[in-house]
């Protein structure tokens, strides 16, 4: 069937409105999961049936539900929802005052840290170095080209023959371990900066982290992290530390920990000794201060991250942006670049020579991630709320709306009901190309409407009349 016929058939169908409500219920997901089955909502104590739902009663006999994919190229809608959740999670831990995290967390000593990888050889950068000579291959030992920020050459090795691709991959493969060592080191250094033993310090302070990994142009990850000091309390989940514990203690501990963290990689085949892995000399640690008056434009803070203390909200917005952007960034910037291809082929070459039972056994799985096997966004248990609890809250909210619709007179909360369901997977995606085109158009319209609303909220003076 031709696309326009397929679209027309849906538009003319008597249950078009109902179908469209189903589309909107998936949040205009690009590739929804199709389910068949039914569920019954019961009152938990009385067993009374409050509502019944069956996919058989839907227009095509199936129920559509979100795909939940985090990548915007796969599903704009679901990645948007995930971004929103990640943003709330990170923001709640830095600024408090939402989702069960008290506002006082914003007053705890808190630092925004960026950790980089060391150099594996000169790459093209925006900063031009005049003092460069020539390498044994007759190429410059540094970049002196004055590149623009969006120059496609930026991040490429100046000399591919000099660049240590193996060192690059080995470091990247161990980056999560290096981070883990850093956190252990940091606890020790914090105790030292407080003049306490580690044991004594652990009774009064606890470190919380939220970190994201981001690929730099040179194809190596760096980490952005929010590090917060909490106190210790048997009942409260986010206690304040003793007032004598300050951001200055945290900053000095971070500096010492960054400089002293190291781990030794397992030797590669043919190597006598493993490489010693450290952080790059360039790291940036800055105090995060609470700044209520900067609370204007959450998503797109224009506050500079280049200098001075940072506001909690600017940092959370920045870090949350990377929490979801990171994995997607690589492909567009990496596509076609010889430097990135060379990193990938180095991963594959190493993977082909190693023992799959050995310490590099996982390497073969990660050539697409240039050898990085970590998560792009992680946090300590008590940093903030969990993504799961946000999803749970949203489910409860939806259930509550459903209950209100079903039983307008009753006062039943979502806690008191039990949902019994039996569902089976029936496939992925909209049923026809026509349905997909309609869902995509509806998604675009919804997005434009949302963006316009956001613009109107920011600039009330230029608000367009909507009627």
Which residues bind to Zn ion, rule: CB under 5 A? 29, 66-67, 75, 78, 124, 135, 137, 139, 143, 145, 159, 161-162
Is 249 strand, coil or helix?
helix
Q: Which is nearer to Zn ion, 135 or 406 (CB)?
A: 135
349-357 contacts: CB < 8 A, separation 24 or more? 350/166, 350/169, 350/268, 353/268, 353/269, 354/268, 354/269
> Which residue in 340, 326, 335 sits closest to 156, CA to CA?
340
Kindly tell me the burial class for residue 438, based on how many C-beta atoms sit within 10 Å of its own C-beta (0-12, 13-18, 19 or more).
Answer: buried
CB 104 within 8 A of CB 96: yes
Distance, CA of 136 to CA of 140 (rounded, Å): 9
Contact by Cβ (8 Å): 71, 79: yes
Q: Which C-beta is closer to Zn ion: that of 66 or that of 286?
A: 66
Question: How near is the Cβ of 185 to Zn ion at its closest, in Å?
Answer: 35
Minimum gap (Å) between residue 67 Cβ and Zn ion: 3
Closest approach of Zn ion to the CB of residue 30, in Å: 5
Tell me phi and psi for residue 64, to 5 degrees.
Answer: -100, 140
Min dist. Cβ of residue 99 to Zn ion (A): 23
Task: Identify which of residues 140 and 255 has a Cβ nearer to Zn ion in the complex.
Answer: 140
Going by their DSSP bridges, the two strands 283-289 and 310-311 should be labelled as parallel
For Zn ion, give the closer residue by CB, 78 or 205.
Answer: 78
Instruction: Tell me the closest approach of the beta carbon of residue 429 to Zn ion, in angstroms.
Output: 10
Q: Based on CB atoms, which residue is closest to Zn ion, 28 or 179? A: 28
Minimum separation from the CB atom of position 147 to Zn ion (A): 5
Ramachandran angles phi, psi of 284, nearest 5°: -135, 120
DSSP string covering 161-182 = TTS-HHHHHHHHHHHHHHHHHH
CB 412 within 8 A of CB 50: yes
As measured in angstroms, the least distance from the Cβ of 34 to Zn ion is: 13
Q: How far is the CB of 319 from Zn ion (least distance, A)?
A: 24
What is the nearest approach in angstroms of Zn ion to the Cβ of residue 23? 12
Complex with Zn ion: residue 260 or 440, whichever CB lies closer: 440
Q: How far apart (Å, rounded) are the C-alpha atoms in residues 227 and 383?
A: 9
Our CA angle for 81, 82, 84, nearest 5°, is 65
Left (φ > 0), alpha (ψ -120 to 50) or beta: where does 414 sit? Answer: alpha
Of 392, 376, 362, 387, the closest CA to residue 330 belongs to 376
Nearer to Zn ion, 130 or 137 (CB): 137
Distance of alpha carbon 141 from the chain centroid: 36
Nearer to Zn ion, 75 or 330 (CB): 75
- Which is nearer to Zn ion, 162 or 298 (by Cβ)? 162
- Residues in CB range of 85: below 8 A, 6 or more apart: 387, 390, 391
Q: Which residue's CB is nearer to Zn ion, number 125 or number 377?
A: 125
* Burial of 191: CB neighbours in 10 Å, binned 0-12, 13-18, 19+: buried
Our measurement of the distance from residue 269's CA atom to the centroid of its chain's CA atoms, rounded to an integer in Å, reads 35
Supply the minimum distance, in Å, between the C-beta of residue 432 and Zn ion: 18
Q: Which is nearer to Zn ion, 362 or 432 (CB)?
A: 432
Please answer whether residues 138 and 176 qualify as being in contact, where contact means their C-beta atoms are separated by less than 8 angstroms: no
In the complex, least distance from residue 136 CB atom to Zn ion, rounded to whole angstroms:
6
């Amino acid at each position: 069937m031709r696309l326009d016929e397929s679209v027309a058939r849906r538009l003319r169908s008597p249950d078009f409105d109902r179908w469209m409500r189903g589309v909107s219920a998936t949040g205009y997901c690009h590739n929804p999961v199709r389910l068949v089955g039914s569920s019954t909502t019961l009152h938990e104590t009385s067993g009374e049936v409050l509502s019944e739902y069956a996919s058989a009663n839907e227009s095509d006999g199936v129920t559509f539900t979100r795909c939940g994919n985090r990548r915007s190229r796969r599903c704009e809608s679901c990645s948007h929802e995930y971004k929103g959740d990640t943003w709330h999670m990170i923001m709640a831990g830095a600024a408090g005052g939402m989702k069960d995290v008290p506002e006082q967390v914003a007053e705890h000593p808190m630092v925004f840290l960026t950790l980089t990888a060391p150099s594996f050889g000169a790459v093209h950068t925006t900063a031009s170095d005049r003092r460069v000579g020539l390498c044994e291959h007759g190429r410059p030992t540094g970049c002196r080209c004055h590149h623009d920020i969006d120059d496609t050459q930026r991040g490429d090795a100046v000399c591919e023959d000099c660049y240590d691709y193996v060192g690059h991959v080995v470091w990247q493969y161990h980056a999560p371990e290096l981070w883990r060592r850093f956190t252990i080191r940091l606890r020790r250094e914090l105790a030292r900066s407080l003049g306490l033993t580690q044991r004594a310090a652990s009774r009064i302070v606890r470190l919380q982290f939220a970190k994201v990994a981001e690929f730099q142009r040179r194809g190596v990850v760096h980490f952005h992290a929010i590090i917060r000091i909490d106190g210790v309390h048997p009942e409260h989940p986010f206690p304040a530390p003793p007032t004598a514990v300050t951001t200055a203690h945290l900053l000095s501990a971070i500096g010492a920990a960054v400089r002293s963290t190291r781990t030794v990689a397992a030797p590669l085949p043919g190597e006598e000794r493993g490489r010693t892995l450290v952080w790059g000399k360039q790291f940036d640690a800055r105090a995060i201060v609470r700044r209520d008056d900067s609370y204007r434009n959450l998503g797109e803070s224009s506050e500079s991250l280049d200098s001075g203390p940072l506001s909690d909200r600017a940092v959370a917005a920045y870090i949350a942006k990377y929490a979801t952007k990171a994995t997607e960034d690589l492909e567009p910037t990496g596509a076609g670049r010889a430097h990135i291809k060379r990193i990938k082929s180095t991963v594959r070459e190493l993977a082909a020579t190693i023992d799959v039972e050995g310490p590099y056994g996982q390497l073969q799985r990660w050539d697409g991630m240039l050898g990085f096997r970590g998560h792009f966004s992680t946090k300590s248990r008590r940093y903030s709320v969990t993504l799961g609890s946000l999803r749970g809250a949203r489910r409860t909210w939806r259930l509550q709306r459903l209950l209100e619709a079903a039983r307008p007179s009753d006062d039943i909360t979502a806690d008191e009901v039990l949902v019994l369901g039996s569902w089976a997977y029936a496939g992925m995606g909209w049923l026809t190309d026509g349905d997909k085109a309609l869902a995509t158009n509806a998604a675009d319209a919804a997005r434009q409407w949302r963006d316009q609303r956001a613009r109107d909220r920011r600039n009330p003076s230029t608000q367009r009349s909507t009627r």
